[in-house]
Amino acid sequence: MIEVSNSSQRGAMIRALHDAYMEVFPTPTIESRLMALEPGSDVAITCSPTKGVEVTLRMTEHLSRKGFKVIPHIAARNVRDRVHLEEIMGRLDDARVRSMFIPGGDARSPEGEFATAFELLQAIAGYDHGFTDVGVAAHPEGHPDVDDEKLLEELEKKQPLATYLVTQMCFDAGALNRWLQMIRGRGINLPAWIGVPGVADRVALLKTSMRIGVGTSLKFLRNRSGFAGQFLFDNSYAPDGLLSGLVPLLDDAPSGVAGFHIYCFNKVEQTEKWRQEAMRVLRDEA
């Protein structure tokens, strides 16, 4: 159960859960799983470092025709050149996509001329396009391959070319709060969608946490017996404890938190059931 202290916090959490959207992998079975969502829901589609951007584009086009508001991830390292970029943007425009997310990507080496998200963002800015929102990645606990100061400098550079940021998955609400205060102090004012895990398989969540380098969060969990017990020993994880710690951020305008970006690991039905139940409980408590 998500814990709140007053009616203002309760309202803020209900709004954040209502506006939350899920990130999914473009697998053959994902369409049937997405039927658990309300019609017209926002859905982010990742870009595989091995399958490339084409799979993401095809899934985006298909789901857009089905009525979803799709946010495709266009990884810089998977875009070959400006001709390829023009094709991508044309297809997204034809699919009436209005929001995209630009990560650097996890490919070991670039397929072409774009090695970083900033380079791709610069190229996109040179086009007359119809995108109203462009998101970039942020790393409250750092990145395994990039120095912390370098990450901040890159985020500062990307700010004029983006409209929002999404944080990497983190389990420590205190660390998120400190990071938000720090970037706001440096003049980074992009609205922040806080990346949180959904109802996920414990093993998959642990593997992903280790891969993306959220070691501080894992240590934090081990120091909280109840939360750690659920994470380390149950078969599945639900983010109620984490969201309870994030409540003050939602009710604090200077933090600039826009809502939740849910890493659901394609457990769409389970995560949606949890989201709806969490909202119901909070409304019943009012």
Delimit the domains of the chain by residue range. 7-280
* pLDDT higher than 80, residue 219: no
Structure confidence by residue, pLDDT tens digits, 5-22: 999 999 999 999 999 999
Q: Helix, strand or coil for residue 271?
A: helix
* pLDDT higher than 60, residue 213: no
Class of domain 7-280: alpha beta
Structure confidence by residue, pLDDT tens digits, 270-285: 999 999 999 999 999 8
pLDDT at 204: 67
Q: Of the ranges 36-40, 232-236, 257-261, which one carries the lowest mean pLDDT score?
A: 232-236
Contact by Cβ (8 Å): 256, 190:
yes
Average pLDDT over residues 129-133: 92
What are the φ/ψ torsions at residue 187 (nearest 5 degrees)? 85, 10
Give a three-class secondary structure readout of 103-128: CCCCCCCCCCCCCCHHHHHHHHHCCC
pLDDT at 234: 59
pLDDT at 178: 94
pLDDT at 255: 94
- Cα 89 from chain centroid? 21
* pLDDT higher than 60, residue 228: no
pLDDT at 207: 67
